Amino acid sequence: EPEVTQTPSHQVTQMGQEVILRCVPISNHLYFYWYRQILGQKVEFLVSFYNNEISEKSEIFDDQFSVERPDGSNFTLKIRSTKLEDSAMYFCASRATSGTPSEQYFGPGTRLTVT
């Protein structure tokens, strides 16, 4: 069964450093998402991406964040200058189309620890 994959599974970085989290969505999916979950809290939407552009973003997704689909398979989330409060689990998700009640398939997540 196809699945969303994410790398790395755990990333430790120092405050102020740039990080890139990588995701490989399911191959025929067209919509891509990033969510984050701070430990013990709810899952929060960050950004959605379709047709090579951001379709929607939350208040959390400020200028420090960016997303890219550099090739036909990867979908990345970049945090330019990490802060302690960016420590969280980051989930990538993908979805097939908007015309059907298609579900979002989630990857296993990347745990980001900012020290």
Using rule CB under 8 A, residue 1 touches other proteins: no
Which strands form 75-79's sheet, in the order they lie side by side? 5-7, 19-24, 75-79, 65-68
- Which residue in 30, 36, 91, 93 sits closest to 61, CA to CA? 36
- Residues pairing with 75 in the sheet: 23
Mark the segment that binds other proteins (CB under 8 A) among 13-21, 65-73, 77-85, 103-111. 103-111
Q: Which is nearer to other proteins, 86 or 109 (CB)?
A: 109
Q: Which is nearer to other proteins, 18 or 32 (CB)?
A: 32
Tell me which residues in 70-99 interact with other proteins (CB under 8 A): 89, 91, 93, 95, 98
Buried b (16+ CB within 10 A) or exposed e, 44-58: bebbbbeeeeeeebe
Size of the site for other proteins (CB under 8 A): 29
- How many residues belong to the chain? 115
Q: Which is nearer to other proteins, 50 or 74 (CB)?
A: 50
Tell me which residues in 15-44 interact with other proteins (CB under 8 A): 31, 33, 35, 41-44
